[in-house]
Chain A
């Protein structure tokens, strides 16, 4: 059973470009969370999605950031017109279905390290 997959692992963008980060949850998981980690900081929640639905986007900036989790394919976090302050590691996590005993456990992917030059 493959773990949470993220790609790309490293992404370099110039200011003003768009960044697209992809996350494939663990097999059987239908809930995805995105977190951002700045250097020497903890992880900050951004958005929580299930298939075709945004459940909670309270941690995501209103401007330039969007996320989706389509019926088919990975979840995508999109950052438009990137700025230097967007440089960070972006992690996604997934969790098992609600009817399982471990539905509250979140398993993380390897992260995408975004560098804006």
Chain B
């Protein structure tokens, strides 16, 4: 089955800095890679995703890159703000009603 590794487990940055979280996956058949943000005690929220037919996708301060050959994908957050503080999870699946395999999460702390 699919295995997703996520690094780092914790990340502390100063407000305004950039943050990068990296994930690797094992199943070359995976072709859908979402990122979720989870605040303490809240539901995971889908913030951005990428499909295997593109290498990069951007949405305002958030971008995701995908390297299918190396089987890794990354989340980039620029100009971080304290409200970006949360746990971020990467996941992988095959498109079309397939289960998500999650990484263990990265706790991002943005200090003012």
Contact = CB atoms under 8 A, between A and B. Distances in A.
Interface of A: 4, 31, 33, 35, 40-45, 48, 55-56, 59, 91, 93, 95, 98, 103-111
Contacts of B89: 42-43
A91 B99 CA distance: 13
Contact of A42 (B43, B95, B102): B102
Interface of B: 6, 32, 34, 36, 42-46, 49, 51, 89, 93, 95-105
A111 B101 contact: no
A95 B42 CA distance: 19
15 contacts: A31-B97, A41-B105, A42-B104, A43-B100, A45-B99, A45-B101, A48-B97, A55-B97, A56-B99, A59-B99, A93-B100, A98-B96, A98-B97, A108-B36, A108-B46
A112 to B, nearest CB: 11
Contact of A108 (B6, B43, B97): B43
Contacts of A48: 97, 99
A30 B95 CA distance: 16
Contacts of B45: 108
